[in-house]
């Protein structure tokens, strides 16, 4: 489970980052400050995806917390602007946090077996 979180999280980082950069820097036609701010929060979510994925194998408890914080930022960015796709990234963060929680149990079982 922990390896799955690592792989999925790192693959999705590229999508979150590219979409957020496009929203933040590509919105020059409308000059919407709220949309640019939501794009910046999207980049923070991408950074948190990297950190959550990095801790998924060694410290899955930290990974759960990081993905939970990423979900809060994503839902906040979706609520403050027209960047509604952040709702999707927020729910994906919740799913990754739940998978990391199961990774805690998996790691505990492996340590008990040793």
Q: Which of the 8 DSSP states describes residue 56?
A: T
CA distance 78 to 99: 23
Predicted pLDDT at 30: 55
Predicted pLDDT at 28: 53
* 8 A C-beta contact, residue 36 and residue 24: yes
Question: How high is the mean pLDDT of the chain?
Answer: 88
Residue 65 confidence class, pLDDT cut points 50, 70, 90: very high
Average confidence (pLDDT) over 83-92: 90
**pLDDT at residue 8 is higher than 70:** yes
pTM: 0.88
Per-residue pLDDT tens digits for 16-57: 999 888 887 775 555 667 777 888 888 999 999 999 999 999
């Amino acid at each position: 489970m922990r390896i799955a979180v690592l792989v999925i999280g790192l693959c999705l980082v590229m999508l979150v980052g590219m979409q957020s950069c496009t929203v933040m820097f590509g919105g020059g036609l409308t000059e919407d400050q709220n949309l640019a701010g939501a794009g910046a929060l999207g980049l923070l979510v991408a950074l948190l995806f990297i950190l959550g994925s990095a801790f998924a194998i060694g410290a899955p408890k930290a990974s759960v917390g990081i993905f939970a914080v990423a979900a809060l930022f994503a839902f906040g960015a979706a609520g403050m602007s027209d960047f509604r796709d952040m709702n999707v990234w927020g729910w994906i963060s919740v799913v990754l946090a739940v998978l990391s929680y199961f990774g805690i149990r998996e790691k505990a079982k492996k340590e008990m077996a040793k």
